Chains A and B, each alone.
Chain A
C-alpha cells in the first residue's frame, strides 16, 4: 500500500530484542566517537565493531548493501573533489589536476568513518520501529517536542503520501503526461501547492480533534520498557569496546 517502509525494524535477532534505550545511547556515543576520530586505527576498529553489531542484527545482507550504496554514492563525489584539492605531496597528475597523497588518505578516512557510522546506525537504530524509537527517546528524557515531532512526522507521512498519490491519480485519469512545457510545470506547481494547503488544513483538523479529547499540551506515554540482563551486558561490552577505540585514538598516529 505504501512506499514508506521500515524493512530493518522487523526481526527477532538479539539486536532487535535489546532495549531500544540502550541502543540509542550506544549508537549516539559511537557516532560522536567516529565523527571526531582522526586515526585510521581507531576508525578501522570502529568499523569492525559496527560490523559486529550488524552481525548481531542478522539483517538481509543484500538490502544492507543496497542501502550502503546509496550512502556511498554521496561519498563518491568527495572522491572526485577532495584528493585533487587537498594540499600535499603529488602522487598523480593529469593535465592541470594533481591528486595528493594526503588528499587520498583523508578521503579514505572520511569514507571509512561514514560507513562505520551508517552500519552502526543500521544495526542499532534501524532495528527499532520508528514508533518505539520515539517512545524510547521520550523515556530517555529527551525533549518532548523532539519526540513528538518525530512521531507526528512519521504518522502523517503516510497520510501525505496517500494524499499525494490521490492527487497524482486524479491528474493521470484525466490524461496528464509530464512533458517539457509550461502546462506540466504549472500542474506540478499546483500539485505541490495543493499538497501544502491540504497538509495545513489537516494539521488544523487533527489539532481540533485533539482539543476535543481534552488535549492540553502534554502527551502521556503508555509504553514501558524493561531493562534486562542482556541489555546490561550489551551496554557494558559496547562501552568497553568504545573505550578501547578511544585508547587507540590516543595512542596511534592520527591524521594528518
Chain B
C-alpha cells in the first residue's frame, strides 16, 4: 500500500470558547490518486478539517503528517501550502488583486517565479479553464460563476499536487457546475471535495465519506 498523502492522527480540536470539541481522537488518511467527497451536516467539521490540513487552524493535540512529513510549525505549513491548493467557499475571500491576471499570477510569483514566467503560467491555467480573455477583467466585477472559476485558476496556477475544494458548487448555475465537473474530471491530481450536492459528487469523486467527530466514515453505495 502506498504512503498516504495526508494523515491525521488522534487529532483533538476545539474552537476557542466552544463547549464541544469538533474533533476528538480524530483519525483520517488520504491516499494518492484518490478523489473523495466529504459530506455531513452543517457544523460537523468539514471546513475545519480542510483548514487543519492547511495549517490555518492548529489542533490542540495529535499530529498531522503531509507527504510523509509531520507538520507542526508555521514554517512547515508554508511548504504544505505550496503543494496543496485550497479553494475557499467564498470567492470574494480568495480574489483580492485588481485584475484577474494579477490574481492568478499571485501564487506563482510567491513561489519565486519571474514575472514573465508567472504571466505565462497564469495565461496557460486560464486557457485550461476556458477563461482566455479575462486577463484584464476586474475581479470584483465578475459574476458569481466567473469568480468561482477564476478562484480555481488562482489555486491551480500554483500547480498543486493535491486540491481541496470547499463547497465549490454553492450558488452556481447548472452550466457552471457542468464546467466545473468537466474541469475536475480532467485534472490528474488527487482532490477532496466538501459538498452537500450528491449529484455533483457522483460525477466527480469515487468515494464519499461522512465526517464525524472521530473519523471520516466511508459511505458505501
CA distance A103 to B20 in the complex (A): 71
A212 touches which of B85, B96, B138 (Cβ 8 Å): B85
Chain B 154-165 interface 0/1 with A at a Cβ cutoff of 8 Å (1 = within): 110010000000
Interchain Cβ contacts under 8 Å between A and B, 20 examples: A155-B98, A159-B140, A206-B93, A206-B96, A208-B51, A209-B94, A210-B106, A211-B81, A212-B54, A212-B85, A213-B110, A213-B154, A213-B155, A214-B82, A220-B106, A220-B110, A222-B102, A222-B105, A222-B109, A222-B115
Q: How many residues of A contact B (CB 8 A)?
A: 25
Q: In the complex, which residues 184-206 of chain B have their Cβ closer than 8 Å to any Cβ of chain A?
A: none
In contact, A205 and B111 (Cβ under 8 angstroms) = no
User: With A155-B140, A159-B92, A202-B93 given, is the CB distance from A131 to B99 under 8 Å?
Assistant: yes
Interchain nearest-CB distance for A228 vs B (Å): 21
Q: In the complex, which residues 198-224 of chain A have their Cβ closer than 8 Å to any Cβ of chain B?
A: 202, 205-206, 208-216, 218, 220, 222
Q: In the complex, which residues 93-119 of chain B have their Cβ closer than 8 Å to any Cβ of chain A?
A: 93-94, 96-99, 101-102, 105-107, 109-111, 115, 118-119
Q: Is A164 an interface residue (CB 8 A)?
A: no
CB-defined contacts of A208 to chain B, threshold 8 Å: 51, 54, 56, 88, 93
Q: How many residues of B contact A (CB 8 A)?
A: 35
CB-defined contacts of A134 to chain B, threshold 8 Å: 98
CA distance A69 to B44 in the complex (A): 57
Q: Is A246 an interface residue (CB 8 A)?
A: no
Binding site for B on A (CB under 8 A): 1, 131, 134, 151-152, 154-156, 158-159, 202, 205-206, 208-216, 218, 220, 222
Nearest 4 A/B pairs, CB to CB: A214-B110, A131-B98, A213-B107, A220-B109
Q: In the complex, which residues 113-159 of chain B have their Cβ closer than 8 Å to any Cβ of chain A?
A: 115, 118-119, 138-141, 154-155, 158
Residue of chain A at shortest CB distance from B80: A212
Q: Is B31 an interface residue (CB 8 A)?
A: no
Residue of chain A at shortest CB distance from B99: A131
Q: Is B90 an interface residue (CB 8 A)?
A: yes
User: With A131-B98, A211-B56, A222-B101 given, is the CB distance from A216 to B93 under 8 Å?
Assistant: no
Q: Is B78 an interface residue (CB 8 A)?
A: yes
User: With A205-B88, A220-B115 given, is the CB distance from A215 to B110 under 8 Å?
Assistant: yes
Q: In the complex, which residues 56-89 of chain B have their Cβ closer than 8 Å to any Cβ of chain A?
A: 56, 78, 81-82, 85-86, 88
